[in-house]
Amino acid sequence: MQRLGPGALPDGVVRFGYDRRELRPGIVHLGVGAFFRAHVATYLDDAMQAGGDPRWGVIGASLRHPDQRDRLAPQGCLYTALQRGPEGDSARIVGCLTQVLVAPENPGALLARMADPMTRIVSLTVTEKGYCRDAEGRLDAQHPEIMQDWRTPLEPVTAIGYLVEALRRRRDANIAPFAVLPCDNLPGNGRLVAGLARDFAAGLDDKLAAWIERSVAFPSSMVDRIAPAVSDADIAAVAALIGRQDAAPVVHEPFRQWVIEDRFPRDGRPPLEHTDAQLVKDVEPFEQMKLRLLNGAHSALAYLGYLVGCETIGDAVAVPVFRAFVQRLWGEVLPTLKRPPGIDLNDYTQTLMRRFDNPAIRHRTWQVAMDGSQKLPQRLLAPARERLAAGKPITAIAHVLAAWARYVGGVDEAGSAIDVRDPLATALRRALDGAGTSSSARIDALLSVRAMFDEPLARDPRFRTALIEAYGRVADYGVRDATVQLMAD
């Protein structure tokens, strides 16, 4: 079968309508994984299609591995976005990505592209762990890669190192700075990355840090679309739909949402007003809604479901007691939210449940459970703090954290080993291995890991007691029966 590229496609396959030969690279994107290509890139494709502005082509960069480049380059960086919904599959070909660089192969090439005056935005999807921050959201000055980038700033390895060195080059060449647009699930991600960049720059040059703080725009954004890992069956489905072989398709649900703080330099962003992106003054209510309701429920279903053998989020939410538990979890979280303008939160949660039920999206619980130490502080620890400050219980939140604690112990309820993928996996396992078997000993061991639990929260007796009680219930009865008991209380 012919490889994806220029040429006719079957009826029903949507293809961009602009001339790719006219594209100019206005955006460098760090992290060309599935989520970026299933979400952000589709918006950029739509913006250029509707707005007629070719200056927003995208050069992607992988900070780690050449895999994506090697799959995309032979097909001209074209790829298929396969939408899977209850009504069936549909396909579109995305054309805004023009090149993929592999940073470790040639750091100078990526830095030169970021420093080019044509680049007006550097966006990022490097996952929560890619920002090298500590439990309080500050730059982790002891992170080995941050320390390496301070020693060799001209050959960085971290996203923050690349941002700061490219900005330094633009400052020294008297070129206006690009805007930095993070698109990862972190609250206040623009402010967060601004602080990380400033702190990293201060480790090199106080004047550079001051210039970044004064001159660079860091708009926050909230992104939402479920994009599970691509399977061999998905690749075969794409080939059947488009009549071509695509080595780099992505799969996604029909729903998408992108809320962006409209804080860019003049003429400094794509014409996203021609899409369904929301350009707002304050992203925070939207991001809290998404992180605590969607992502918090996702984490709950991932840990509860994985421990009892559910392969996907859909399988987990089909367990009646887990489905009911998600509603109880939302009941705890909803009072911590400020309602975003124009959003009915009850309608929003109903939409979330329909998205979880989508039988065409097989989002693996193991995939969602990855990197919990980086995800749970935003999704569950933050609302737990607010409820405790208001004198309210955290029973449902503690139940999820207890399931997470069982998960990072490395053995599921059938006695099988769990491949725990987390940047703190070694520290968490070491803490548990040195603890006793009692619930209090194991929870205290985890609470001692300061990279996840800050001292005020870890030492709050109400938080500790809630976790010990929840963990004891899970350990004694198993996750499913423990959830039944909790729901009966």
C-alpha closest to that of 79 among 238, 223, 252: 238
* C-alpha to C-alpha distance for 274 and 48, rounded to whole angstroms: 9
Give, in order, the Cα–Cα distances in Å from 387 to each of 30, 95, 299, 444. Answer: 36, 46, 19, 21
CB 227 within 8 A of CB 208: no
C-alpha angle 208-138-293 in degrees, rounded to nearest 5: 125
| Cβ-proximal residues to 297 (8 Å cutoff; 6+ apart), any chain | 326, 329, 330, 352, 356
The pLDDT of residue 7 is 77
Two tokens at 126? 């490097």
Q: Which helix (H) or strand (E) holds 332?
A: helix 320-333
Phi first, then psi, for residue 196 (nearest 5°) are -65, -45
User: Which residue bears the tokens 């996750």?
Assistant: 479
Give, in order, the Cα–Cα distances in Å from 118 to each of 59, 114, 154, 284. Answer: 11, 9, 21, 30
* C-alpha to C-alpha distance for 28 and 45, rounded to whole angstroms: 15
C-alpha closest to that of 216 among 280, 284, 259, 166: 166
Query: In the chain, which residues have pLDDT < 70?
Result: none
CB 177 within 8 A of CB 185: no
* C-alpha to C-alpha distance for 127 and 182, rounded to whole angstroms: 10
Q: Is the pTM of this model over 0.85?
A: yes
The pLDDT of residue 1 is 72
* C-alpha to C-alpha distance for 383 and 394, rounded to whole angstroms: 9
* C-alpha to C-alpha distance for 280 and 263, rounded to whole angstroms: 9
The pLDDT of residue 9 is 86
The pLDDT of residue 51 is 79
The pLDDT of residue 328 is 98
> What are the chain's domains?
14-280 (3.40.50.720), 284-488 (1.10.1040.10)
